[in-house]
Structures are given as C-alpha cells and as structure tokens.
Amino acid sequence: MTKRPNIVLVMADQLAPHFTGTYGHPLVQTPNMDALAARGTRFDAAYCNAPLCAPSRFSFMSGQHVTRIAAYDNASEFPATVPTFAHYLRMMGYRTCLSGKMHFVGPDQLHGFEERLTTDIYPADHAWTPDWEMPDERIDHFYHNMDAVKTAGMAATTFQIEYDEETAFYARRKLFEYRMNAVEPFCMVVSFIHPHDPYVARPEWWHLYDHDAIDMPSSPEATDPHSRRVMAGIEASVTDVTAEEVRNARHAYYANVSYFDSNVGKIVKALEEADLLDDTVVVVTSDHGDMLGERGLWYKMTWFEHSARVPLVMAGPGIARGVAGAPCSLVDILPTFLDIAAAGGEAPAPGMPLDGRSLLPEARGEAAPADAEAIGEYCAEMAPAHPVLMIRRGRWKYVHCDVDPPQLYDLEADPMELENRAADPAHAGTARAFVDEVAARWDSAAIRENVIATQRQRRAVHAAMEAGLWTSWDYTPPRDASTEYVRNTVSWDDVLHRMQYPPPGGRS
C-alpha cells in the first residue's frame, strides 16, 4: 500500500458556486479557492442532496440519501447507528477531528469524530421541528424571513464572525499539534458558518467591493407552486424590499464569501507551514447554495441551481488538474474519502448500502460513468406536506412533487432554468422516463407518512425536555486549562519545545 494522504475538508454554509470567482463570477474574489482549483479538480455539477443545513450534512457525512436515514429537516435526529466517513476512516487508522458546524441533532454529537474542537452554532434538540399536518402555518421562531435582507450591511462583529474565528483558530492549532506529535494520517473537517445569512460583513471585506458595481438578480420571478410557498414562508411575498436593500444583501454576501475564502487560505497556509500540505488532499465544498434574490427567492429550500448546487474543489497528492462536468453530489464524498484512504488497499465493508460513488477516478482525470447523477429529496418546512424530489442526469434536471406540476429543465440549453419542458411534446419521451423513474424510486405517500410520524415523536420529546429539568444535548468541548501553556507540572523548556514549530534548532 502506498502512503495514505491526510484529508482536510473545508466546508462553507450556504455558498452557491455561482457567487465565487472560482466558478467564474466576474466580481467575487476567492483567490484561495482559485489556487486550489488551479492545481486540482473543480467539479462543475455538484449538488447537495437536500437544500437545507442539517439534512444535507447528514447525507454528506453518511453517504445516504435523506429518506434512507429519515434526515428530513433541521430538527431530525441523526441516529448514532448510522455510520459516517469518520467511523470508516477511524477503522482505517485515521485520526478524525471536527472543528466548527455540523448541525448534528440528538445526543450523539461526535458521529465518528474522535475530537470536536468547538461547540456547534445551532441547537442540538428538536425545537426546530416543522409540522406537515399544518403546512401553511409559519413557525416564527425558526423560519427564515426577510429581515436578513432588509438589515444587510456592515458590523464590527456578529455571532457568526465570532464562531468562524474560533473554528479557524482551533483547526489551525490542531494541525500544528498533529505535525509536532507525528499524527498521520488524519482527517479533519473545518466547517464555517459563512456566508450564511445574516448578510452582515466586517468592513475590510465589505470594502473589497465597489457597492455600485454589485450585480443585481437577473432572472424573472419564479411562478411554480413550490417557489410561491417558499416566498410565502420567508415572507418575501408580503415584504417590500428596495433595490438598495437587495444590493446591500448581495454586497454583504460577496464580502462574506471572500471572508470564507480567507479562512480556506488560513487552513491551507497552516498545512504548508506545518509541512503537511504535500501529503494532504484538500477539499472545499458547501452544504447548499443561496438564491440571493434570483427568481425572487432568498436562502435555499428549492431545487433551482443557485440553491441546489455546491462548489466542490479537490487538490492534493494524486489529484489531476482539470474540470469534471458530470453530475455528482455530497453523498459521493464518503466513498471518495474511503477510496483516498485505501490508497490501493481495501476499505472496510460499509455498514449500510451507500448511495454515492467515488469521485476519485474523475479527480485523477478519468471519465465519469455514463449514468452519473445527483439525487435530491426535500422534506422540510415550506414543502406542501409532500416530498419535493429532484433528479439531475446528463443535461436534464427533473423536479417532482405529487401535488405540483412537474418541472423539466435542459441545463445545457437553458442554464437559468427559464423554460419548463415537462409539457413540451418535443421532450415527451424524456419527461415520461423521469415520471416512471420517480414512481419506481420513491413512494411519496410512505415518505409523507413517515415524516409526519417522526415530527409527532420529536414534538413529544421536545415538549418533555422543556417541561422538566433541562438537559442539553449541545456539545461542550472538553478543556483542562491546568494542562495548557506554562504550568508547574512541566518545565519551561518542555512547553517551548512542545508548542513551537519548527522546533528550536530547525525541522527534524
């Protein structure tokens, strides 16, 4: 077996690839992502498997589609019995570490990671459970609204800035600790909250951009039923937003994309300074995108490209320079990591059937399989109490919901998804094939029943947790200050040598 590389995955929250320089945006500055793409592989049709934080992340960690593991919404429990890539990599001898957000819901806040360096930014309980038995009722305490758009701008600090600064600091420190203690191979996930709304940026990132040059949404307002539900749910349909407020929100988002990119640079620089970069595969991605005013929509929760697509860039040993254009998705990350870690050997047998495929052959310059696809399932708030399902294969994207008209888009001819071809006689055969595939792949009625059943269970559990003595599932990182820095139990020289890299006298 050849040397097994380290793996470092840097994850954004709500980053649409369309709004990065790496994927061709003429204004947005992402030099660190650009540099990784220049020496590695950029995947140009990567999708989330659910356009919402927790469901997407559970799929990403487990290599499973949402409905297989009941990861329906932001308050669904991620069962401890579902194996993740962190579990498998541990079995393969990797040290596993998470710094930052993963939005795990439930009492298991590790899911295979040996260490978590920070707490999470969102609650670990069932408070954010939607109610499909009352799908038209807004739940004000966690549903998005238009406040983030109307109040966009600059600030010296926000809870998100504080969180990302902590995430980067602890990740960087751990990388040097790995190097000084000769800990290899390792897999570290560094997961930031930016550029997720609120659209508020620090001045140095805001001032990267000429406010008057910020481009405005260019696509017409969506009229399909699901988009109208989302508009109602986020109150876009009843909130007047000025052009200047839209420009402010996009300006702040672009600034925060550049801030996220700077954190990518911090992690890559730490790897370089710790003499780890040449032995490490670096991956950059996001959990979903952001409509950012396109189609009259904001945030995520739809299968339009700005919401559903994610950046995916991979660089490091064995990764070719190039662009991969075939559809893929976040469930492909787990088998890809196992392929990387095996390094010509064998990976452990999966504990559950995997829904993804390894992207390592494409990252090495090989052709994608002819049937390469991305599958999406949305079963959360603002759905019509029925799953909203997506298939992307070849040039086509098909969106199905039992109570809505189907949508069929030719993304090669119509990348902005302006013309629904589902009823076009010229594409009747394609549409019919997708109809048949949906019927064979999913039982929407059964999914609906299970979503509602789990929502009832979770609401009961949460009501009980609120009624008695509160026991939080939120993660508190262990820390013993008595062993940090200079203490009487160790000598000054010991601390100096242990916490300096390169060590006194130079690299060993």
- Active site amino acids: 53, 103
The amino acid sitting at 444 is S
The amino acid sitting at 290 is D
Q: Which residues of 4-34 are buried (b: 16+ CB within 10 A; e: fewer)?
A: bbbbbbbbbbbbbbbbbbbbebeebbbebbb
Q: Are 86 and 111 in contact (CB under 8 A)?
A: yes
CA distance 288 to 278: 29
Which run of H or of E encompasses 88? helix 85-91
State CA 388 to chain mean position distance.
19
The closest alpha carbon to 287, from 79, 15, 9, 63, belongs to 15
The first and second tokens of residue 293, run together, are 């005013």
CA distance 366 to 169: 37
State CA 349 to chain mean position distance.
26
418: Cβ contacts below 8 Å, ≥ 6 apart = 219, 220
Give how far Cα 220 sits from Cα of 12, 247, 407, 417, Å: 27, 17, 16, 10
φ/ψ (deg, to 5) at 47:
-125, 155
Q: Are 8 and 283 in contact (CB under 8 A)?
A: yes
Round to the nearest angstrom and report the end-to-end CA distance of the chain: 25
The first and second tokens of residue 478, run together, are 């262990």
The closest alpha carbon to 258, from 32, 43, 53, belongs to 32
